[in-house]
Amino acid sequence: MAKIAVTETVLRDAHQSLIATRMRTDEFKDILETMDTIGFHSLECWGGATFDSCLRYLNEDPWERLRKIRKACPNTKLQMLLRGQNLLGYRHYPDDVVRLFVKKSVENGIDIIRIFDALNDIRNIEVAVDETLKNGAHASGAICFTLSPIHNLESNVKLAEDMEALGVQSICIKDMAGIMGPQDAYDLVKALKENVKVPIIVHTHSTTGLGLLALQKAVEAGAFAIDTAISSFSGGTSQPPTETMVYALRQQGYEVDVDEKVLKQINDYFKPILHHSLQTGLLNPLVMGTETDALVSQIPGGMLSNLVAQLTAQNKLDKFEEVLEETPKVRKDLGYPPLVTPMSQIVGVQAVSNVLAGERYKNVSSEIKSYVRGEYGKAPGEINPALQKQILGDEKPITGRYADLLEPGLPSAREYLGDRAASDEDVLSYVAFPAQAEAYFEKREAKKKKTFNYTVEKIED
């Protein structure tokens, strides 16, 4: 039987989906060397919301986090998730920013960059793929799997063919909401293998309970690799459990080069972290259950936990079910965009706004306006004409690649930051998240001064 590769997600998507990306580097650094010995195909450890969370909530430098992981894991490929022209933020960035970000990601330790566009607009991943290849890293194109009247097997195959033509070295089926059934997985992997030559990887979530079934059928159809999470951080809105998949696939006769004894060590390490998150309220039990309503709402794991957090902060968690019902309606109005970052946040925030205001589109977010203008790319389907008229009036939407209209972003950022930016990485952090990066730079500088003053006092003593 074939050999199946395993990507472990606990350092990125698993804790993003369950505890809103709040795991600190200090919490997992002591297990990294052990994880490096187990035989994982890759460790998904960066990108997604980790960058934002490091700066916004954890008072960490995301680049330093990556360097620490790289140093501790010299034998395992490190993988990140990149949102194409959106990078790790929520808007499109100029090409000079995208290219430098990709270059610095590779220089700081990334081996595999999984690149997707929230709308599956191939134009929005071209530059990131090109720069990944130029820097000698592995470019993996990701299809955002979704269900709608306009998404089907043929459209996914066409997207994969276009990605292969760009030069991607693998293609990932990215099922961010856990809505891919076992037959969907089998049929899509089989169709992709018949039409493209690069390896196929499958990423899903356990949100609806379909994850284990989907991964098993994907392997049977010829998938090269699957994404899983160590069991203590698996299930619910996270990925299916690593140990369970390894056990099941080996029982079927597949070769999986992962040491199960080391898996237990890793799981035992992360268990207390999850339990602590539950005790502190960081882990909401809602995201650990099986939520079959997601087969209708199609809300992915990270989005679900963020919606819970958003409503809890406003003391409106009683409106949760109404928001779940409103979300697919907003999605339909916007032409069925896949619910993946940043579209999941954009749709989710608008759904919350509609419910709390008691009137649909009484308040329209600036992101929705930008989307309708075409600043995120081409909508997969038709946008509700009445909503488009409300937002644009007689203005015509953008039909070309939006990044072509943007001025270079690095010169002005460098000029503004001056000596506060100690590196290109600092400049990129600022461009991606200006307010959060500046706040972090101030704290970093204050810490340096405090350390310096302490040293001077010691010398004087």
| Average of per-residue pLDDT across 98-124 | 97
Q: How many CB atoms lie within 10 A of CB 299?
A: 30
The more confident residue out of 310 and 225 is 225
pLDDT of residue 287: 86
The model's pLDDT over 307-322, given as tens digits with 9 standing for 90+, comes to 888 899 899 999 999 9
Q: Is residue 132 within 8 Å of 142, Cβ to Cβ?
A: no
- Percent of the chain past pLDDT 90, that is, above it, reads 85
Q: Is residue 4 within 8 Å of 222, Cβ to Cβ?
A: no
Model confidence at 458: pLDDT above 60: no
Model confidence at 327: pLDDT above 70: yes
Q: What is the CATH code of the structural domain delimited by 285-403?
A: 1.10.472.90
pLDDT of residue 242: 98
pLDDT of residue 411: 98
Mean pLDDT taken over the chain: 94
The model's pLDDT over 6-62, given as tens digits with 9 standing for 90+, comes to 999 999 999 999 999 999 999 999 999 999 999 999 999 999 999 999 999 999 999
Q: Could you please report the per-residue DSSP string of 268-323? A: HHHHHHHHHHHHTTSS-GGGGS--TTHHHH---HHHHHHHHHHHHHTT-GGGHHHH
Domains of the chain by residue range:
5-279, 285-403, 410-460
Model confidence at 372: pLDDT above 60: yes
Three-state secondary-structure class, residue 206: coil
- 239: confidence class by pLDDT, cuts 50, 70, 90: very high
Supply the DSSP symbol for 179: -
Model confidence at 181: pLDDT above 50: yes
pLDDT of residue 459: 56
Model confidence at 432: pLDDT above 90: yes
Q: How many angstroms separate the CA atoms of 46 and 200, rounded?
A: 21
- Percent of the chain past pLDDT 70, that is, above it, reads 97
Three-state secondary-structure class, residue 256: coil
The more confident residue out of 312 and 192 is 192
Tokens of 273: 């972290």
Q: Minimal CA–CA distance to 333: which of 390, 294, 293? A: 390
Model confidence at 449: pLDDT above 80: no
Q: How many angstroms separate the CA atoms of 131 and 113, rounded?
A: 11
Supply the DSSP symbol for 124: G
Phi, psi at 205, each rounded to 5°: -130, 160
**Class (C level, CATH) for 5-279:** alpha beta
The model's pLDDT over 388-417, given as tens digits with 9 standing for 90+, comes to 999 999 999 999 999 999 999 999 999 999
Q: Does the CA dihedral 348-351-357-360 come out positive or negative?
A: positive
- 456: confidence class by pLDDT, cuts 50, 70, 90: very low
The model's pLDDT over 253-305, given as tens digits with 9 standing for 90+, comes to 999 999 999 999 999 999 999 999 999 999 988 889 898 877 876 676 667 77
Model confidence at 453: pLDDT above 70: no
